[in-house]
Each structure stands twice: as C-alpha cells, then as structure tokens.
Amino acid sequence: MKPLSEYRRGQGAVKAIYSDLDGTLVGPGGTLFATPEGPTTRTAEAIGALQASGTSLVLVSGRTRDQMREAARLVSASASIAELGAFVIERGFPEEVTECFGAFVGPGRPFDAMARSGAGAFLLERYPGRLEMHTPWAFQDREATMLFRGLLDPAEATGALDAAGYRWLEVVDNGMIPRTYDSLDVPEVRAYHLVPRGVGKASAVRAHREQYGLRPEETAAVGDSLSDLQLAGEVGALFIVANGLPGLGQAADGLENVYATPSTAGDGFAEAVDALLGSPA
C-alpha cells in the first residue's frame, strides 16, 4: 500500500467521497471529536471543507437504516449506505431508498429469512468461544444482515455455510473492534456480517455512482477494513486510515490506487480530504 505522500490529485475535481463511519469518520465512543490518540477537531473541519467545496459526502457503514439516517443528518451527508451495502438512502422528504439484496429473492427481509433458516445459529454452534452476536447492536432493527463479533476465517465460514445448504449467504469481515470480551477466547476481536451473496459496499457504491452519472475517477473513498478495500475498484482513490492497516495485512498489495494515511480515524479522514481538495498535480 502506498503512503499518502505518493497520492497525486488529477486535473478533475472529486465530486463525491464515500466514507466508512466507525473507526474512520468517528473515533472511540462514536464521536467526531476523538481519535485513539486523543481529542481532535480536524474531522469536523474536514467535513466543513467538503461542504464549502460542494463535494458530496456519502456515508458507508454496517449500521442500520435508522442509525445511518441520523448520522447522515448530523454531518450533512447527501446520502448513506446502510447494512454493508443492502440499502442506498438518499436524504430528502421523503427519502429515497434503493434495496440491494443480492442473492436474496424474498419474500420479506433477508434478516428474517436468515433467522428462520437457522443460519445464524449454525455459525454460533460451529464456532463456540470464537463467535457471538455483537450485542446490543445485533438486535437493533436489522433488516438485511446479521451482526457478529469474534475471530474466524470468513472464507472457511462461508464454505461451511455452503456445505450446510446456506448457499445464498456469505460471511464478510467488517474490521477490528478495539476491545476484548470475556465471553470470547480469541486474541483479537473483529466484526462480521452474515449477508446475502452479492451484498457489499462496492456494489452499493457502484449503484450510487451510476445513479448520478459519476465516473470512478470523480470519486474517492476512505475506510479502515477489508470490506472498505472492496471499494478500490469503484473509485479513483481509496484511503485507509492508520488504525485499519493492521487488519488488512497484505490484502492491498498490488492495488495501485490505495493509500495509507499517517493518522488514525478522523485525523486520517481529514488528511485524505486535504489531499483530495488540494491543488492538482
């Protein structure tokens, strides 16, 4: 992965920035004004700079629709992508919602179908001491994905689901959780989503881009996890904030448009915005 210092802005203006929320735009406690290193005002200032430049901010997260609606309002985001790509939500009165349910064909909602099928219970029974529901957020009006925490191999877990007959589902890694839980016997904790195959941040960003006629080079993204790394193929440049680097390992090797910020969380987001809004090369 390239350092931020190697990023060179092209001649055209960036029209939209897609940003992950937890661990990227907001720091510990879910606030704009903290990073793992301490208090900051740089995140809020960067959001203000985006507003002044006319650049759209679109939030991209595993959070629910209700949670994203409030977050988008507070930071004046033009739109948000909820439940890891299952919903694209355009702010307005009324808001416009596009459902991106991938392999799920209904009826009803994917979450309800997962619950009826026993897929979530299958994973919990397969990985005792290594996986549990990510409470309390796992039960807050989720519609399309199930939310877990622990430590496992997503590809192996998806293969196990497939062998058990849950072929329409997959497990997606949504990044590290910076704390431990006594109920889990693992060296680190990560967030995982059980999603319909085809649901992801990349497909949702593509849908949003195409709706507004935006070319990849007119967009950028900022994130901190493997699920954010998917966006490299959908935007002109992807910036990974420093706290996300340990969790990526070598996954970004060979991706020419991915850059690492020197700072963590909101300060890293601010560094990416400064680079994107600065003078073109």
For residues 257 and 236, what is the distance between their CA atoms, to the nearest angstrom?
A: 7
For residues 9 and 61, what is the distance between their CA atoms, to the nearest angstrom?
A: 26
Domain ranges across the chain: 2-100+200-277, 110-196
Which pair of structure tokens corresponds to residue 258? 């991915």
E-strand ranges in the chain read: 2-3, 16-20, 34-35, 38-39, 56-60, 79-82, 87-90, 96-99, 131-133, 146-150, 169-177, 189-196, 219-223, 237-240, 258-260
- Average pLDDT over the chain reads 95
Q: How far is CA 228 from CA 12, 17, 149, 207, in A?
A: 24, 13, 18, 16
Contact 233, 254 (CB under 8 A): no
Share of the chain above pLDDT 70, in %: 99
For residues 257 and 235, what is the distance between their CA atoms, to the nearest angstrom?
A: 9
Residue among 272, 277, 216, 274 at smallest CA distance from 244: 272
pLDDT digits (tens, 9 = 90+) for 143-153: 999 999 999 99
Contact 260, 33 (CB under 8 A): no
For residues 215 and 228, what is the distance between their CA atoms, to the nearest angstrom?
A: 19
Please state the pTM of the whole predicted model.
0.94
pLDDT digits (tens, 9 = 90+) for 77-124: 999 999 999 999 999 888 999 999 999 988 999 999 999 999 999 999
For residues 141 and 67, what is the distance between their CA atoms, to the nearest angstrom?
A: 10
What is the chain's alpha carbon radius of gyration, rounded to the nearest angstrom?
A: 18
Q: Report the CATH architecture of 2-100+200-277.
A: 3-Layer(aba) Sandwich (3.40)
